[in-house]
Structure 1
C-alpha cells in the first residue's frame, strides 16, 4: 500500500473512532453498571472524580480527532466511488451528531451540574434526588453515544473493505 495523505488520515480516523467506540462501550458495559451498584454518595463522588480526570489531552485527541479528521479525510480522497463517499459521510454524521453533539449538549451539562455540587453538604434525600435527576438521563444519552460511535466505527471498517475493491 502506498502511503498517501488520504491513507494517513483514513488510518488515523479509523483508529480514533475505534478508540472512542471502545471507550463508550467500556463505560456502558462495565463502568456505569459497576458504579450504579454504589450508594448515592459513593456513586456521585465516583462520577465527579471520573468526569474530572477524563478530560485530559489524550482524551481530547481521541474524542475530537474524528470530528476534525472526517471532513479532512473526505477532502483528501479523489478517486473513490460515490458509495465510499456516502459511507464516509454517514460515519461522520453518526459520530459528530451522535457522539460529539450529544456529549456537548447532553452529557456535559449534566456533568457540569454534578461538578459544581458540594456533595458533602447534601442530605441523604438531596443526594438521592440529585442522583435520580442525573443517572438515568446521563445513561440514556450515553447509550446514544455508544451506539452511534460503534455504527460510525463499523461504517469506517466497511469503507476500508470497499476502498480495497477499487
Structure 2
C-alpha cells in the first residue's frame, strides 16, 4: 500500500467517524430539543465545521481519492468522491443553506432528510475506507 492510499484510507475513516457521530449522537440529541434551539445549534455547528482542519480532511480526501481512481482503485475512490464529497456538496450543503434562510418550521423536514443523507455519507465513507484497504 502506497502513502497516498494510506493517507486516503485514514482520512476517509476520519470522515466516516465524523458522519457516524452526527448520525448516532448529534442529530438524535438535536431531535430532543425544540425546533428553535435545535435549529440554532445546528446553524452554529454548520458555521464551526467550516474550519481549516475539517476542510483539509474533507477536500484533501476527495483529491487523494481522485488520485486513487487514476491509480486503479476505482471503487474505493469513487465511493468517497460520490458518496461523501458530491453528496455533501449537492444535498447536505444546500439543506444547510436553506436552514440559514428559513424559520423553525423547516426544522422537522431538515432533521429527517439531512440525517437520512448523513447515514448514506457514513456508509459511503466507511465502505470507501474498507475498499481502499482491500486495494479496489
Q: Deviations over 1:56-96 (max 9, x none)?
A: 11111111122111232454x5xxxxxxx3xx211111111
Structure with bigger gyration radius: 1
**Aligned pair partner of 1:72 in 67, 71, 81:** 67
Matches within 5 A, 1:74-93: 74-75=69-70, 85=72, 88-93=73-78
1:71 alignment partner, SS class: helix
Q: For the residues of structure 2 that align with 1:111 and 1:74, how far apart are their CA atoms?
A: 29
* Structure possessing the higher relative contact order (Cα contacts under 8 Å, 6 or more residues apart): 2
TM-score (norm 1): 0.75
Partner in structure 1 of residue 113 of structure 2? 137
Q: For the residues of structure 2 that align with 1:60 and 1:150, how far apart are their CA atoms?
A: 19
Q: For the residues of structure 2 that align with 1:102 and 1:74, how far apart are their CA atoms?
A: 18
Unaligned residue ranges in structure 1 (runs of 5+): 1-5, 78-84
- How has the CA–CA distance of structure 1 residues 73 and 98 changed in structure 2, closer, same or farther, with 3 Å as cutoff? closer
Q: Matched residue pairs, number?
A: 136
Q: For the residues of structure 2 that align with 1:19 and 1:8, how far apart are their CA atoms?
A: 16
Partner in structure 2 of residue 37 of structure 1? 32
2:32 alignment partner, SS class: coil
Unaligned residue ranges in structure 2 (runs of 5+): none
TM-score (norm 2): 0.90
